[in-house]
Homo-oligomer: A and B are copies of this chain.
């Protein structure tokens, strides 16, 4: 087992994918922002009107996906063909749940794009609520589904995903 982003001399490299075939790829990532119940209620109430926290964060997540190769040093630039970001208030868990889906026809997977979309959406929720709640946490960002690459499909086990 070895890390693919280093050569024999220990130099970081952007891995050569020149010889990989272009295939249709998809990745789904998820995460949550936990907050005080009052904060979650405030987000829910705003969500009933226009200009709500969730739609600002959603847009930020979509735009964030497009900046992935600018942010992650060894990520390949990719021409994404689809990005969706969904945010939902989970009052029972006192959290905002975030799911992002990315697609591309390309030589590398799009899990980093999906994870970046979730991260930027989460940071945006945090930013918009930080004046009323300093105890929020961005948590549990993980890959849920991935398909289309050489290594075969991947799905997180368990019924709740």
Contact = CB atoms under 8 A, between A and B. Distances in A.
Interface in A40-96: 42, 46-56, 58-60, 62-67, 69-86
A76 B79 contact: yes
A126 to B, nearest CB: 6
This chain's copy number in the assembly: 6
Given A14-B84, A72-B120, A80-B76, A56 B59 contact: yes
**Which of A5, A48, A54, A106 gathers most chain B CB within 10 Å?**
A5
Contact of A73 (B2, B16, B56, B143): B56
A72 B56 CA distance: 9
A131 B80 CA distance: 20
Nearest to A82: B16
Contacts of A14: 62, 65, 80, 82-84
26 contacts: A1-B38, A1-B42, A2-B132, A3-B53, A9-B51, A10-B52, A12-B62, A13-B82, A14-B84, A15-B82, A16-B81, A16-B103, A50-B50, A50-B52, A51-B58, A55-B56, A59-B59, A62-B74, A71-B120, A72-B123, A72-B124, A72-B127, A112-B130, A115-B126, A119-B123, A137-B142
Given A51-B58, A59-B59, A119-B123, 14 more contacts: A1-B38, A3-B53, A5-B128, A7-B84, A11-B86, A14-B65, A47-B50, A60-B71, A67-B70, A111-B130, A134-B146, A134-B154, A135-B142, A139-B141
4 nearest A-B residue pairs (beta carbon): A16-B82, A10-B51, A138-B141, A14-B83
